[in-house]
Amino acid sequence: MELFKVLNQPHWNYFFTHEGITIKAPSKQAATQLAMMYRECLTETAYNIKGKVKIAWRCCKSPIQIFSWMALEQSPTPYETAEAILRTDGEVLCSLLHLPVPLLKQIVQAGESERPVSIVRCSDRKQIIINKPMEMALQTPAIESTQRIMTRFWRLSDLETLERELQLTNRFRWQYNAALNPRTWAILESEFERFEVNGQWYSQTTFLIDPEPIAFPHDDVILDFDRTDN
């Protein structure tokens, strides 16, 4: 198997734990590439061992995690096949394996947009979808960005304002500043849209201007970037 050829190379290692399998990669970039290239095989492995596959690297605080439940999907419909095509052509990445049609349509629109677009699941505030322009704007690999809990990238006061406005109106524009990644804080202007699919609420963010990096603030900012949530 090609995956084992990779894992048997120098500077790679893997071993069983009580949770499943842990893979030690030589770098964060190598770990990300492994997860993207062998996602299906790693998901199947997690399912077969009824646990999870964790990919870590030196000084890693937020490993990539692949869970057994990710393999629990029915035979793909034409819409799910289209979603898989969107993921593999590099235009958009989604961390979900099964998608209702209305959400898939949002993904198609994100993939066609020239502006950076991301979609967050409101129930756990996890960023689950980004397109290629957003990946570039965040300066973060898509597979890592779609594991983020987005409350950690805001001022507390601005986060409260955002959630209040989304409750009052389902679409609005706003200029604000927030973290693009753990290293970069920026001035942003975005259009926010809140929508519902099958009883689940989502919020979509579209950057209207290119981010303008500024110094990190020292007020009520959540800086716990490295925590991983299942």
> What is the tens place of the pLDDT at every residue in 116-168?
999 999 988 999 999 989 999 999 888 888 888 888 899 888 988 998 998 89
Beta bridge partners of 13: 24
> What does the pLDDT read at residue 217?
83
pTM of the entire predicted model: 0.61
> What does the pLDDT read at residue 207?
97
**What is the chain's mean pLDDT, rounded?**
81
- The answer on pLDDT for 75 being more than 80 is no
- The answer on pLDDT for 46 being more than 90 is no
Task: Return the exposure string of 30-41: e unless at least 16 CB atoms fall within 10 Å of the residue's CB, then b.
Answer: bbbebbbebbee
Place of tokens 């590439």: 33
- The answer on pLDDT for 191 being more than 80 is yes
Which tokens go with 153? 């990238």
The alpha helices in 49-172, defined as continuous H runs, are: 78-88, 101-112, 132-138, 142-145, 156-168
Given pLDDT bands bounded at 50, 70 and 90, which one contains residue 92?
low
Q: Tell me the domains of the chain and their CATH numbers.
A: 2-71 (no CATH), 78-214 (3.30.450.20)
- Beta-carbon contacts of 138 under 8 Å, excluding residues fewer than 6 positions away, are 116, 130, 145, 180, 181
